[in-house]
Chains A and B, each alone.
Chain A
Amino acid sequence: MPETVISAQNLDLTFETNDGPVHALKNIDLDIREGEFVSLIGPSGCGKTTLLRVIADLEKPTGGRMTINGMTPEQARLARAYGYVFQQAALLPWRTIEDNVALPLEVMGVDKATRTQRIRSNLDLVNLSGFEKKFPWQLSGGMQQRASIARALAVEPQMLLMDEPFGALDEIVRDHLNEQLLKLWAKTKKTVVFVTHSIPEAVFLSTRIVVMSPRPGRIHEIIDCDLGYDRPLDIRETPEFLKIAHQVREGLKAGHSYDE
């Protein structure tokens, strides 16, 4: 059994807003082991992004315990344990693609030779070789998002935290990037935590799917999704795939029903 890298125990997070407290996360218990691809899925307001941000130390929990490799999220962030991919590519518009990939490496004080090598290998990995000198606006949305994945990978983190990275892209580009991400995961064996609201995307990519429900944000069900490392796009038409997708859909419905 691989080691547990992310562990949440009885995690709570309440935001104080002008309209009173908002219970974003309640009683979250979750263990993620090394090399897993875990998707967090649920309707908006279920706290899936918030949970990812707590792992990344972008939000502080108001109760419970969260450990990353046995450290607090802040220690893990300072130890640069993860790469984070946002909903938008968030490339700096005044930097070329290669300079954007170099940004985290510059911040972390990586020497120039290593930087050059990592820029090349990671842009190659996301099929962006030849676009090094382009500025972000010269690239399509899908290419920008791929560049941002290369940027997250360039720091060679143990885990990747991805917050609906393909949410703003069209279906065709999304399929393509899903396939690429899966290959990347199979190749690098990194731990991935992936936020999405697309059932097929979650089933296609994950080893486990965490179904969340809103108000207060909590885990409704955790569904195993063992389709192996090698998943061609056609796997989405197989009975196994459809069965898991159905299970996720039922979970989402059940989690949602006593709300509306």
Chain B
Amino acid sequence: MMGASFVKDRLFPVMTILLAILAIWYVAAYSMNAPFQRDFDRRAGETRTGTEFFMATMSQPKPTMPAPHQVAENLWKNTLTVKPWSKRSLVYHSWVTLSATLLGFAMGTALGVVIAIGIVHVPALDRSFLPWIIASQTIPILAVAPMIIVLLSAIGVTGLLPKALISTYLSFFPVAVGMVKGLRSPDVLHLDLMRTYSASRAQTLWKLRLPASMPFFFASMKVAIAASLIGAIVGELPTGAVAGIGSKLLAGSYYSQTVDIFAALIAGSIVAILLVSLVDLVGRLVNARMGAKTP
């Protein structure tokens, strides 16, 4: 698995795409920053060579489009050169967002599983509940999030929980839909088999439906945890920008700190990649424990 094939099969394609993105990014940064630089130089009466002009577009303090190395430098400075618990640290802000994400994800997953179990076992719920669940997801979260935050703060609930609830709202849906499919995935033969044992519904659920739903469970959790992160970030936007990746994004846009915005976005992406990879890893471990046909 490791060694040559890892480099060839995994690293090479990823690096190719990364290089392509960086190239496009640099081109975009130059062409978007150039008009401002030209304007600036004309007013200052400065004449530059082509190379000097290019370098200037790459190092503006508040660029329209920050160059990759500016973002990388900002990330480096705000993660590794400051204490992780300082307010300037992206690690601190990521942690704030992450804790809301994880709480919301846990609640959303639990809610999704409970709803799915209900839908699979109670025909009335199947008919009455599913349309509402789907409708709940058509409401733009950006419109709902401030209302939730404001309403909850009016009754004295502030801090982690309101953000986590927005994550819950976004993450229960993929889990519910995936688990309904997963819990219904055992074939008739296995259901007949449980019937010949006179198994109760609870036994059929524990010994047949839930184990059979595991692949669906992990697939939907991957979607749900990414949705949870988005929920937590959106939840941080209207909280008066105290802490979290969302607040960094908001502060960055208030003060036109485009480099900060991009650094916060990258920090958010890294958290997302870590979370999805973690769910994937746990999924693989569970799969292996359940005797999956993998070498």
Contacts and interface: CB of A to CB of B under 8 A. Distances in A.
A binds B: yes
B267 interface: no
Q: How large is the interface on A (under 10, 10 to 19, 20 to 34, 35 or more residues)?
A: 20 to 34
Contacts of A77: 195-196, 198
Interface string B241-253: 0000000000000
Contact of A90 (B190, B212, B214, B290): B190
Contact of A86 (B189, B198, B203, B214): B189
Contact of B198 (A80, A83, A94): A80
Interface stretch (A21-29, A101-109, A251-259): A101-109
A135 interface: yes
Nearest to A152: B196
Contacts of B196: 56, 58, 77, 82-84
Interface in B156-203: 189-190, 192-199, 203
Q: Is the interface of A mostly helix, strand, loop or mixed?
A: loop
Nearest to B203: A107
Nearest to A53: B192
Interface in B242-295: 290-291, 293
A77 B192 CA distance: 12
Given A86-B189, A90-B190, A92-B190, A108 B197 contact: yes
B290 A94 contact: yes
A92 B211 contact: yes
A93 B208 CA distance: 10
Contacts of B195: 57-58, 77
A14 interface: no
B197 A90 contact: no
A79 to B, nearest CB: 8
A135 B291 contact: yes
Contacts of A88: 189
A78 B198 contact: yes
Contacts of B197: 80, 103-104, 107-108, 155
A107 B197 CA distance: 7
A107 B199 contact: yes
A158 interface: no
Contacts of B203: 107
B207 interface: yes
A137 interface: yes
Nearest to B192: A58
Contacts of A80: 197-198
A157 to B, nearest CB: 10
A137 B193 contact: no
B194 A107 contact: yes
B56 to A, nearest CB: 62
B208 to A, nearest CB: 7
Given A92-B211, A107-B203, 7 more contacts: A80-B197, A82-B196, A90-B189, A92-B207, A107-B199, A107-B207, A135-B291
Interface of A: 56-58, 77-78, 80, 82-84, 86, 88, 90, 92-96, 103-104, 106-108, 135-137, 155
Interface of B: 189-190, 192-199, 203, 207-208, 211-212, 214, 290-291, 293
